């Protein structure tokens, strides 16, 4: 039987590296660097709940858990959890992690915890189920081989949009040509986030632009991996981005993709994503991962672009209320 110990993470370089090492055991191909973890904690609002705990077996870190309030989807009493365990995790470690998570949350005025759990971790799912957690939203994860992507079939659609006055720009282009680019980007993201699929009772909340700036422009943010659709009148009508967290810089994750309601069903989102994929290729990215709620039309769009379903690998939203 293992002799697990629990300690609170310290905001020091050694523990940022520890989180990177634990995430590497969880996701060997796309773990975050110590620098990205440092940036995350540097930018987080100190007035919000944000607890991270490390589990050790002897002097060896083997897992961690975090629970935090989410500024952009804030509900009183609700926190989001992030659990990191190795690929070959044991039932004993999973039970210790979930038990410890619930014990630490009991010190705060929390009545709901929700977070993503991957179907590739049945042992962790079993432990959560035993402790009263439930799956409340199913997702489908897909991946694209960037090196094999052919943009040619989509060129005519982008030209049609251009003829209608809708053009796709990278963020650096807008930073150079539009003095109001930051306010415009903030506004379009705030609007499209309201329609993003979320669990019952959770709505997008508007955060001040100063806080949005800190959350958006971290170490994993590359302006060249942002694409924005702009109408003839200068209005930003759609947006999407990629962020790169893996240490090798070969794997990107698709962030929020959204289009204003008045411009939907016209191919705007598809044109944005095609330009993102081309930008990813220019920067040496080999794979793009993304996930969608199983009934979200964006899933079908991704499949049209050549994304492939990651069999046996999907993120689901799990929840416990009390």
Q: Residue 231 CA to chain centroid, in angstroms?
A: 27
Whole-number pLDDT of residue 208: 86
CA angle 321, 32, 100 (to 5 degrees): 35
Whole-number pLDDT of residue 221: 78
Whole-number pLDDT of residue 1: 61
Whole-number pLDDT of residue 215: 79
4-132 and 142-312, same CATH topology:
yes
Whole-number pLDDT of residue 32: 78
Per-position DSSP letters for 63-120, written without gaps between them: EEEEEE--GGG--TTEEEEEEE--TT--HHHHHHHHHHHHHHHTTSS--EEEEEEETT
Whole-number pLDDT of residue 266: 94
**CATH says 142-312 is which class?**
alpha beta
Phi then psi for residue 44, to 5 deg, are -80, 140
Beta bridge partners of 113: 79, 320
Show me where the domains of the chain are located: 4-132, 142-312
Per-position DSSP letters for 22-42, written without gaps between them: HHHHH-TTSPBPHHHHHHHHH
Those residues whose C-beta lies under 8 Å from the C-beta of residue 231, and which sit 6 or more positions away, are: 165, 166, 237, 263
Whole-number pLDDT of residue 240: 96
Block means of pLDDT (10 residues each) for the chain, 322 residues, are 90 94 84 83 84 94 95 84 94 97 97 94 97 93 96 96 97 97 95 79 77 79 94 97 83 92 95 97 94 88 94 89 93
**CATH says 4-132 is which class?**
alpha beta
Give the span between the Cα atoms of 143 and 315, in whole angstroms: 13
Q: How many CB atoms lie within 10 A of CB 5?
A: 12
């Amino acid at each position: 039987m293992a002799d697990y110990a629990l300690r609170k993470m310290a905001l020091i370089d050694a523990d940022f590296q520890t989180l990177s090492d634990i995430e590497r055991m969880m996701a060997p191909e796309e773990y975050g660097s110590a620098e990205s973890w440092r940036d995350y904690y540097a930018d987080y609002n100190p007035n919000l709940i944000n607890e991270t705990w490390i589990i050790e077996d002897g002097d060896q870190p083997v897992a961690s858990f975090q629970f935090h309030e989410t500024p952009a989807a804030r509900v009183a009493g609700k926190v989001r959890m992030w659990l990191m365990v190795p690929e070959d995790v044991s039932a004993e470690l999973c039970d210790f992690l979930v038990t410890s998570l619930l014990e630490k949350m009991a010190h705060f005025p929390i009545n709901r915890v929700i977070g993503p759990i991957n179907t590739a971790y049945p042992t962790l799912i079993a432990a959560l189920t035993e402790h009263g957690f439930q799956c409340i939203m199913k997702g489908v994860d897909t991946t694209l081989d960037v090196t094999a992507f052919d943009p040619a079939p989509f060129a005519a659609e982008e030209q049609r949009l251009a003829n209608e006055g809708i053009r796709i720009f990278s963020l650096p282009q807008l930073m150079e040509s539009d003095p109001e680019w930051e306010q415009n980007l903030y506004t379009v993201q705030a609007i499209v986030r309201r329609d993003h699929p979320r669990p019952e009772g959770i709505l997008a909340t508007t955060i001040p632009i100063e806080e949005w700036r800190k959350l958006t422009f971290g170490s994993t943010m590359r302006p060249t991996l942002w694409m924005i659709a702009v109408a003839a009148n200068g209005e930003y009508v759609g947006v999407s981005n990629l962020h790169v967290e893996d240490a090798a810089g070969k794997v990107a994750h698709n962030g929020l993709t959204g289009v204003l309601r008045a411009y939907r069903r016209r191919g705007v989102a598809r044109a944005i994503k095609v330009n993102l994929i081309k930008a990813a290729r220019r920067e040496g990215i080999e794979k793009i991962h993304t996930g969608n709620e199983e009934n979200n039309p964006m899933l079908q769009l991704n499949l049209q672009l050549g994304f492939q379903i990651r069999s046996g690998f999907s993120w689901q939203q799990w929840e416990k209320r009390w």
